Structure 1
């Protein structure tokens, strides 16, 4: 018996309800993976923004392609740890790669349209009714919203019983699969005054209050203790690393392709950007590396950039010969080296071969920087993390991308417009019998809700599931004057 996995990990909310017998040749985790791939929430990720809006270019990544890349990186980490780390080298103690891959595929299901601003918009609409957060929504989708199973099977597929009892079971996944996407072990407060100092107007990470009992059952199944604190499985921690690596490399590749920045530009950004990067990294170091106290400065950020983009500063053979020439002035030599550096920077940004080689080498470097903290009591909760130096490198690239591009005026204008669209759609539905605007299935759930908070959650679920394009279309049908059809189906 593998100490990482027990029989209760395989239990499901609605029991084992399958078409046919359980397959000996396919694990429960692989079955969960298949259910995810065939779900509507997974398909809709193709219409949700990663960095640049999808209509800008076919090249840029969306949430679906990002999830595929995170899943591949996560599975590579698991395979590498199984092959090299003493905790997992024994055949009976391997990390299940399928379960890790599932976590990577599923981790972004809960992201709403329009990126971070979409998340903020829905949280503002739900702040006094349980909040909104992307990771919480992921669990909510997998455990409740997807229309695969109900607790009333096999007799019928009624999602609600008399009295409004909620019988939805989402994809009816195993408890261990649900645990693999549970990144934050905290309940999101129902109202803003319970969020704590400094958090009343910020998105709070965690899971919804209505999923509290489910999370207790997940903990009971995985570690045998429903009240266990700081719960995070080895698969979830691997997925978290893979997500950060993907952000720090592939998003940077998209930025170079877009022409927004080239490698040399990263060295001459506004001072405020470097200050914000340093502040964010130090905050995360304080939380995640309490055992190895470390602080970074702007100098460290420049050191990371110089190391990552060292090719830009290589001196060619022609440059070496130029240095030795006595008939060339110091200013001419400086100009020649600057021109050479600019040429390399342009080549790395514009040439697809160089970009691909750059990101591949960077990911390999980061994969080699994964370590594991052993949990002596619960092997399921061994913690994978990056070595502190690798973490600083990943966080530097990830946060520079965020500060310089995602928070730039160019993209913020787009996201601000998206935030406005979401809030106006929400307001239209929750006021003056606006539930008539909901699709039939959502309206039925809305009408069965017992209170205002539950009704708003239904509206929130509807909007969060929209793609960027559908949200714009829905908004235009409500408020626009551009002649769009009124007869397009939901």
Structure 2
């Protein structure tokens, strides 16, 4: 078997199915993965999770769902282009990769954010801080002492990417504890950081795959099985580089477009930053910059709307096209090193489009993410997430959580029945009396919190604290 045949393994943890497949079903196994997920509740909940603007009531700015659809589309496009290039150079790869790389990328693009907690990436930081403080508290030491260093690090470095892997592989109960029972290739591709919470979380490391971590201790055995089947050795699955690139290409330009729509950034700032960051020695980037004025001059004189929104939409399309082309070219150029695990960089920053990505990041971090409207809602989100964590962590640690008439029993009953069933029936570890371990119970709380939409988290917090009935 070739490397690509292993990397595109369509094996699953469970081969049985509740539905007899039609003889007329022409989908490949990775398209089946997509179909299974597009109908799932976690994907639907992305509609009410923030991309940049939490709890925004407009119908224009992107939510996690619209962002994920865009990532999926870009990823599929990149995959199709790479398939064509690989097959042109090596015709024998036609049956091995045709339609498969693009299908996997479309699937993982759709679900790459389903593990994220409410209120965006700030929600991850809130969870991390909460547990760092909880582990230090003297009154919690009887529980903390049962945890291994790796288990503690899982919470202190809590990651939405890692929660996504857990959700996909375990948290959807249909038949057993295999989650959505996706193909090994799809699952391997979703792991951007194939490291434990002790091995990873080294942002200063030059190797991108060590910057965060990709699996909790509870899913280590699942990760090892996937690693063996796809033979990714100690590196990333090649398609994980393309997922990361698709995500960056989607949000880096779209965040600027949304920021302009929300009046938190203006055309002149965009033009100034791009003028200082782009490399005009590269003809494509010089041309890209010049299109700003070109597109502005082409807007019809009778147009009544904000002409800069039209300009930026056209500019976003061109910029994304340039980044996509650069990523495809570099991936094919470095294919051998990527497949052998010798390449471990951010593929956009290693490509011709590096300066475009850097310019967009600077614009967003300096002029959008720090805007008062966003910061204010993030602080509200911190209050909500910390409040819910405090309530439910105390609940799952209590001895009377299974007593319906007690306060803790009532709170415990509010946790998703699906997550409670998984925790109680398929725990990672059990105590001497057969109860889920402290580690499993803490995971139950983060499972519950991360499954919430922004609006649900706000509503539940307000009701439990008596702010509203």
For 1:326, the equivalent position in structure 2 comes to none
Q: How many residues align?
A: 403
Distance 1:382 1:26, change over 3 A: farther
Question: Match for residue 382 of structure 2?
Answer: 419
| Residue number in structure 1 paired with 2:130 | 125
Aligned equivalents of 2:111, 2:63: Cα separation in 1: 14
Mean CA deviation greater in 303-312 or 403-412: 303-312
- Structure 2 CA distance for aligned equivalents of residues 118 and 173 of structure 1: 27
1:392 is the counterpart of 2:397? no
Per-residue deviation at 1:423? 0.9
Matched ranges for 1:101-180 at <5 A? 101-127=106-132, 129=152, 130-131=154-155, 132-150=158-176, 168-180=177-189
Q: Which of the residues 98, 107, 110 maps onto 2:103?
A: 98
What does 1:36-115 align with in structure 2 at a 5 Å threshold? 36-85=37-86, 87=89, 91-94=94-97, 96=100, 97-115=102-120
Residue 374, structure 1, aligned to residue 335, structure 2: yes
Deviation string for 1:438-479 (max 9, x for gaps)? 244444555665222211110110010100000000001111
Q: Is contact 1:262–1:349 with CA below 8 Å preserved after alignment?
A: no
User: How far is 1:402 from its partner?
Assistant: 2.8
Q: Which of 197, 201, 208 is the aligned partner of 1:188?
A: 197
CA RMSD of aligned residues (A): 3.6
Partner of residue 17, structure 1:
17
CA contact (8 A) 1:348 1:354 kept: no
SS of residue in 1 equivalent to 2:269: helix
Report the Cα distance in structure 1 between the residues aligned to 2:212 and 2:291, rounded to whole angstroms: 41
Does residue 258 of structure 1 match 2:262? yes
CA distance in 2, matches of 1:379, 1:360: 33
Aligned match of 2:450: 464
Q: Is the 8 A contact 1:429 1:437 kept in 2?
A: no
Q: Tell me what 2:429 maps to.
A: none
Task: Output one character per residue of 1:338-375: Cα deviation in whole Å (capped at 9) or x when no partner.
Answer: xx9xx99x999645543332221111121221212123
CA contact (8 A) 2:55 2:455 kept: no
Name the CA distance, whole Å, in 2 between partners of 1:195 and 1:233: 18
Deviation, 1:311, is: 4.3
CA contact (8 A) 1:121 1:422 kept: yes
Q: State the distance in 1 between where 2:305 and 2:278 align.
A: 20
Structure 1: which 5+ residue stretches go unaligned? 151-167, 275-297, 317-339, 485-490
Which structure 2 residues correspond to residues 307-386 of structure 1 after superposition, within 5 A?
308-312=288-292, 350-370=307-327, 371-372=330-331, 373-375=334-336, 378=339, 385-386=347-348
Distance 1:435 1:242 in 2: 39
| Residues 1:474 and 2:460 aligned together | yes
How far apart, in 2, do the equivalents of 1:206 and 1:379 lie? 20
Secondary structure in 1 matching 2:347: strand
Equivalent residue, structure 2, for 1:205: 213
1:268 to partner: Cα distance: 6.3
In structure 1, distance between residues paired with 2:203 and 2:103: 40
- How far apart are 1:390 and its partner, in Å? 0.3
Q: 1:368 to 1:455 in 2, by over 3 A?
A: same
Tell me: CA distance 1:15–1:239, structure 2 relative to 1, closer, same or farther (3 Å).
Answer: same
Whole-Å separation in 2 of the counterparts to 1:438 and 1:377: 42
Q: Tell me how far 1:7 sits from its aligned partner.
A: 9.8
Q: Which has the larger radius of gyration?
A: 1
Return closer, same or farther for 1:133/1:72 CA change in 2, 3 Å cut-off: same
Bigger shift: 128-137 or 15-24? 15-24
The alpha-carbon distance between structure 1 residues 229 and 3, as it changes in their structure 2 partners (threshold 3 A), is: closer
The equivalent of 1:221 in structure 2 is 229
Q: TM-score, normalised by structure 1?
A: 0.73
> Which residue of structure 2 lines up, in the alignment, with residue 286 of structure 1?
none
Q: CA deviation at 1:69?
A: 0.5
> Who is 1:334 aligned against?
none
Distance in 2 separating the partners of 1:382 and 1:27: 29
Q: Distance in 2 between matches of 1:15 and 1:52?
A: 41
